Amino acid sequence: MIKIASDSQIPHIEQKLSEFFGDEYLLEYFEYDQLTSNDLRDVDALLVRSLVHVNKELCNESQIKFVGSATAGINHLDTQYLDCQNISWSHAPGCNAISVTHYVMAALGELIQEGLFNVRQSVGIIGYGNIGKMLYQLLSALNIQVYACDPFLKDNHLVNMEKILECDLITIHVPYSLEGAHPTSDLINQSHTSILKDKILINTSRGGIVSEELVAESQDLIYVADVWLDEPIPSITTVKKAFISTPHIAGYSIEGKLNGSTMIARECARAFNCLKESSLAKDDLIDWPHGLKNIVRDMHGYGFPVAVFKSELDLQGISDNFKSISPNKLADEFKSLRTNHPRRNDFNKYSYKNLIALDESINIDFFNAIQNL
């Protein structure tokens, strides 16, 4: 019997473990802020989120053979230590890519409604992984001028960083790294202050990628941020200065969370040679429930389907709540806002097939692009 310890906030993890293990496991839950090395002494597998730092201090007295993180990023995992101890590990790259894409598109919608951006301006994407590619595809389908750069990839349509920094809006989608050929720590910093004058910067990657000194000193930068240094105790000054501030919820869609659970449950079963492939069918698309006329209105008024993204993700409302939290209770309220984030579906969960019946002039390429993600 495989004994598994799981963060209690990983959604549907018991269901997913049952799909891939059958009944060959024993599951215990823990609260991420109460986990100690003593809790892991007789545990075979550890399943975490980004708020648990998995390292020698936590695992040294355990018999753990597998660590799984239901997250795209891995900077909370000491992978060098795990490899040295022959502890296999896995994470969930791309699990919430559509959810984060939804966030960025919702942010564009907010900026468009406020008159701070329009579809005739340019967008630069830093990082051409899962999220970067989706954004490029969707923005291109809306005939928005979009550029992308990624020093790790060779692709004829990618541009250099200098070209990205010329764009009106820049959105960042890279992992956090201190070392290597292209470290991303302080990738956008005070040396870019003049270049970013009157521009828009969106950061949904990691707090340390954008210098908070840059944000503090820039008088004309419009900053949208979902990630912060020193979470769950971010700088209140930076939070309040940003146009939109949210408590690290960009990847928090129903599907994004469930994808992460599915991916690590499968890899956990595989690590112990217990894998039973799931036979569950993919869910059918749901008819758009928020009124197709709103989408038609936005496409004609803005050239951008604001309602597609805002209907289930009201970033301005979330931002207002986040900015109002008490500095004396910052950590607790940050965690509470994340835990109680309203349930929302990814935008490609819905069918928009009846739009053309309402208005044949609608740009259907964009909605076809959604279904092809």
The residues carrying an active-site annotation are 206, 231, 248
Q: How far apart are CA 215 and CA 156, in angstroms?
A: 33
Residues sharing a CB contact under 8 Å with residue 255, sequence separation 6 or more, in sequence order: 98, 99, 345, 346, 349
Instruction: Decide if 215 contacts 221 (C-beta within 8 A).
Output: yes
Helices H / strands E in the chain, number of each:
15, 13
Backbone torsions φ then ψ of 248, nearest 5 degrees: 60, 55
Q: Which of 266, 268, 261, 267 is nearest to 278 (CA)?
A: 266
Q: What would you measure as the largest C-alpha separation in the chain, in angstroms?
A: 65
Which amino acid, one-letter code, is at 230? D
Would you put residue 115 in left (φ > 0), alpha (ψ -120 to 50) or beta? Answer: left
Residues sharing a CB contact under 8 Å with residue 217, sequence separation 6 or more, in sequence order: 190, 193
Residues sharing a CB contact under 8 Å with residue 226, sequence separation 6 or more, in sequence order: 103, 203, 204, 246, 247, 248, 249, 250
Sign of CA dihedral 37, 41, 42, 45: positive
Instruction: Decide if 172 contacts 203 (C-beta within 8 A).
Output: yes
Q: How far apart are CA 156 and CA 42, in angstroms?
A: 52
| Alpha-carbon Rg for the chain in angstroms | 21
- Cβ neighbours of 151 (radius 10 Å): 14
Which amino acid, one-letter code, is at 102? H
CA atoms within 13 A on the CB side of 253: 23
Q: How far apart are CA 333 and CA 330, in angstroms?
A: 5
